[in-house]
Structure 1
Amino acid sequence: MTEPSATFLLFGATGDLARRMIFPSLYNLLADGLLPDDFLIVASGRSEMSDDAFREEVCAALRQFLPADRYDDEVASQFRTMIGYQPVDAAKPDQFAALAQRIDGRLERGLSVYLSTPPSLFAPTAQGLADAGLIAANTRIAMEKPIGKDLASSKQVNDGIGALFAEDQIFRVDHYLGKETVQNLLALRFGNVMFEPLWNTGAIDHVQITVGETVGLEGRVSYYDGVGALRDMVQNHILQILSIITMEPPARMDPTAVRDEKVKVLRSLRPMTAETVKTNSVRGQYTPGAVQGEIVTGYADELGQPSDTETFVALKAYIDNWRWQGVPFYLRTGKRMPARQSEILIQFKPVRHSIFWRAGHGTGLEPNTLIIRLQPEEYIRLLIMSKRPGLERQVHLEEVTLDVSLTAAFAGQRRRIAYERLILDLLAGDQTLFVRRDEVEAQWTWIDSIIDGWKEANMKVAPYSSGNWGPSSAIALIERDGASWHD
């Protein structure tokens, strides 16, 4: 591991992500003594602004978004002194030259660049850095999603950055990978001997992944319409979760070994066609309704015009490899759902032969289920069969729960913002929790097959009332296989 970068250069520093996540994360790293000595944050945006004016905005954001017990005036004062603001327009080379002067003499101690901008600005910004002499062997660049809108545009974005940076200098951000509970999937699978022998088609009936949001457009109208739930959530967050829970055990916990196994899974996803999208996918769009007791409008009303963009998608996917052949993976995500939750359900197969059956009597025997809740609560819940107390000669079984609350188990430890982990790893040059180019392209290859199938089949969005788990066809998608969504 190289020495951590001493300079952090943030493009898009006046945006919402910077205010809500990036600056609070940097503040927390400083408060915990995890930033290098003489650390410098250079913030950049298109607006003209003085250092002091921008520092005031950052401090206001810290007071707004940090928990009250985390904000400390002394730490905030120290944090202020680390921040400088430099206006930069990607189309103005002279502004990159001024930026280079702010960083003069520090390049040899490492520079980490964070692009929190639209993807269309990634390559021009990188070229401006190159022309200003700011790209060296120890310069790293991080990019927020989306990396393109399909495979072709993804390759274009990656080619633009790849022409100036080596792959080991490029850090593609998926903030779900910074979440403790997502990282804990690795510990659950590969740190416990009882799970891995059963983690295959021989013991698992099906898998469900749900990422539900209660919010609507929330000011993302210009970005979201024409993108939709498939590109916005499935292509990145859900497929990254899927790859972690299905990959083969990596040889070691390092960036190359982990990501080699993830990309093998992503390449094994069975492509969809115009025929299979009709039975294996559902597109939905929310209409007016009530979410958690609050009356809300429909998507078209928020947008101000009709649209065919999906705000909900449910998929039945297959991974064509030895471990998972024949196991269906049910994926769903949507906006204006009844609850905000992200979870994985592993449904095991029934016991092959029940010794508890007697003529005229049922056994009450149910297949085991493992539920891994990622948010808002964090827990691992295993449903197992147990004998009901009593003196009856007939054994009566009941389902009981082995419940591990990660929030309670680690009650004395602060739950980190996902970006704290990711920024710390960026500064250190550890790519394990970042997405490699071949992963992105494998994800887009599968997503493109679905989009092309939708277009060829002329598949329209089905309406669902806000506050419901999508259209009724999403229920049919899984129930025709004899299973049910876990709500």
Structure 2
Amino acid sequence: MTAPRPWVNPLRDANDKRLPRIAGPSGMVIFGVTGDLAYKKLLPAIYDLANRGLLPAGFTLVGFGRRQWSKQDFCDYVRGAVEKGARTTFSENVWTHLAEGIEFVTGSFDDAGFDLLRDRLAELDVARGTGSNWAYYLSVPPDFFSTICHQMQRVGMATPAEGTDAWRRVIIEKPFGHDQESARKLNAIVNAVFPESSVFRIDHYLGKETVQNILALRFANQIFEPMWNAHYIDHVQITMAEDIGLGGRAGYYDGIGAARDVIQNHLLQLLALVAMEEPSSFEPAALQAEKIKVLRATKPEYPLNKTTARGQYAAGWQGSEYVQGLREEEGFDPHSSTETYAACTLSVNSRRWAGVPFYLRTGKRLGRRVTEIALVFKHAPYQPFGEGQTEALGQNAVVIRVQPDEGVTMRFGSKVPGSTMEVRDVNMDFAYAEAFTEESPEAYERLILDALLDESSLFPTNAEVELSWSILDPILNYWAEAGQPEEYPAGTWGPRSADRMLARRGHAWRRP
């Protein structure tokens, strides 16, 4: 009988089995701790890290908000979030230990509550042994960044005492502005208080295992990299599709739209990882330098009336359910031109990618929930087959599935069994769930731990953010003058203009 495999912690350092990636003495303050993000993602992720043994013994979690909560009130709130959202099995012993370091400080962003917070953190440094190392998680809208950062600066929370090895870091959530100019202003506000090396901008897609696997797929395998260029690749499609509507987010979403919400951050980061040159190492500076090169070389293709598409979902059938259209959603302005579908054609002006269009699309109320990157190859220059023998043969493709069925698919031609030569497409599939017994950590687990460890590889820099906006701004400016978006029925794959966008170059969207 084969002995069972030992449990492997997926967040331990793969390069040195002796040294687990465990955070040193530290604590975290969450601003906006009563919001959906903290309740559904951050608090469960912190518990999962503790349950995996990756937080220090004295780790301390401090919530800051207006509610008149006692320590016990906040502990009850955190436990409710953990029991509902944690991925690891709930352990009473782990919870009891974690709860000892849970605190709540009452205050608002513009009052003397920050003085109370500073004093309480100083007390916890002594009582909990946090070493004066604090990460401040701003789980709040960007409008509050300036107030919070300057309040922390005013009371001395932003910088540790001189002559010590202590650190202070700030973690901020998207959106990072609404255009390049606002992003620059936002970065200036944050960097006026925290140096860029202490700023961690969360893009939760970069914490997904399948996104990180792009680097392994490309640079650990000789079979892919020689063909990863314009000589062999015809075009690239990057898709993030959702089958849900706005739900209760109509008021928030109006004025933002699909391009700002998804393309500017998630999809352009995926493009950078796919198109970047091999970094000298996977150290943060080396990885970020190559992504910046790609983003600087990336431009929209013109004319924008033919190389972009946008839409709003109308009523239709989502599976077996008939759903209302965007204009009937509660809280949404029926005259709004905010798009729920966005697609664009981009060019990466480099020797590797010259002439290869990158098609990016995202939308709500589409056919199914899926995020994938498809590299579609050119046809073979010569095929020695007779008439009709390759009618069912398409183009070779490598498809990286980010969610929900994480893995990689390779599509190629194969002979159909029988006495005649007939070639058609077949798929060879790798699925994470089948290949690995280890459970992948949730994205926020990885990113929170990396912030505590000062590992910034998976966090976009201010240069990346501003360059991403410079790519998208011309498209947004054009759309602002182009009238209402085209409607598309819920449950379909977007407006017809998106199909025409690809058809002009003889291409078609994949149906995931």
| Deviation of the 1:304 alpha carbon | 4.6
Change (3 A) 1:2 1:340: closer
d(CA) in 2 for partners of 1:51 and 1:157? Answer: 33
2:352 counterpart (319, 323, 326): 323
d(CA) in 2 for partners of 1:296 and 1:38? Answer: 49
| Deviation of the 1:247 alpha carbon | 0.6
1:112 aligns to what SS in structure 2?
Answer: strand
Partner of 2:150: 127
Unaligned runs of 5+ residues in structure 2 are 1-20, 161-166
d(CA) in 2 for partners of 1:29 and 1:48? Answer: 28
Partner of 1:475: 499
Whether the aligned pair in 1 keeps the contact of 2:23 and 2:449 (CA below 8 Å) is no
| Deviation of the 1:480 alpha carbon | 2.7
1:380 counterpart (408, 413, 423): 408
Q: Does 1:149 align with 2:178?
A: yes
1:30 aligns to what SS in structure 2?
Answer: helix
d(CA) in 1 for partners of 2:187 and 2:341? Answer: 28
1:245 aligns to what SS in structure 2?
Answer: helix
1:403 counterpart (409, 429, 435): 429
Opposite residue 447 of structure 2, the aligned amino acid is: L
d(CA) in 2 for partners of 1:72 and 1:241? Answer: 36
Q: Does 1:30 align with 2:50?
A: yes
| Cα offsets for 1:110-145 (capped at 9, x unmatched) | 111111001011121111111111122510111000
| Cα offsets for 1:289-342 (capped at 9, x unmatched) | 121222211111113531111000111111111111110111110011121110
1:423 aligns to what SS in structure 2?
Answer: helix
> What is the CA RMSD across the aligned residues, in angstroms?
1.8
d(CA) in 2 for partners of 1:164 and 1:26? Answer: 26
Partner of 2:248: 219
| Deviation of the 1:221 alpha carbon | 2.3
1:70 counterpart (89, 104, 107): 89
Whether the aligned pair in 1 keeps the contact of 2:27 and 2:59 (CA below 8 Å) is yes
Change (3 A) 1:342 1:5: farther
Whether the aligned pair in 1 keeps the contact of 2:109 and 2:147 (CA below 8 Å) is yes
| Deviation of the 1:222 alpha carbon | 2.6
If the length of structure 1 is used for normalisation, what is the TM-score? 0.94
Whether the aligned pair in 1 keeps the contact of 2:48 and 2:86 (CA below 8 Å) is no
Whether the aligned pair in 1 keeps the contact of 2:319 and 2:491 (CA below 8 Å) is yes
Counting matched residue pairs gives 477
Whether the aligned pair in 1 keeps the contact of 2:348 and 2:356 (CA below 8 Å) is yes
Partner of 2:317: 290
Q: Does 1:40 align with 2:69?
A: no
d(CA) in 1 for partners of 2:273 and 2:24? Answer: 27
Q: Does 1:173 align with 2:192?
A: no
| Deviation of the 1:46 alpha carbon | 2.6
| Deviation of the 1:2 alpha carbon | 11
d(CA) in 1 for partners of 2:216 and 2:176? Answer: 28
If the length of structure 2 is used for normalisation, what is the TM-score? 0.90
1:282-361 equivalent positions in 2, closer than 5 A: 282-302=309-329, 303-306=331-334, 307-355=336-384, 357-358=385-386, 360-361=387-388
| Deviation of the 1:459 alpha carbon | 4.1
Whether the aligned pair in 1 keeps the contact of 2:300 and 2:345 (CA below 8 Å) is no
Partner of 1:367: 395
Partner of 2:31: 11
d(CA) in 2 for partners of 1:248 and 1:125? Answer: 38
Partner of 2:15: none
1:79 counterpart (75, 85, 98): 98
| Deviation of the 1:3 alpha carbon | 6.5
Unaligned runs of 5+ residues in structure 1 are none
Partner of 1:460: 484
d(CA) in 2 for partners of 1:468 and 1:86? Answer: 48
2:371 aligns to what SS in structure 1?
Answer: strand
Partner of 2:187: 158
1:426 aligns to what SS in structure 2?
Answer: helix
Q: Does 1:413 align with 2:438?
A: yes
Change (3 A) 1:296 1:391: closer
Whether the aligned pair in 1 keeps the contact of 2:311 and 2:339 (CA below 8 Å) is yes
Q: Does 1:251 align with 2:280?
A: yes
Change (3 A) 1:304 1:261: closer
Whether the aligned pair in 2 keeps the contact of 1:266 and 1:439 (CA below 8 Å) is yes
d(CA) in 2 for partners of 1:27 and 1:47? Answer: 22
1:239 counterpart (268, 279, 282): 268
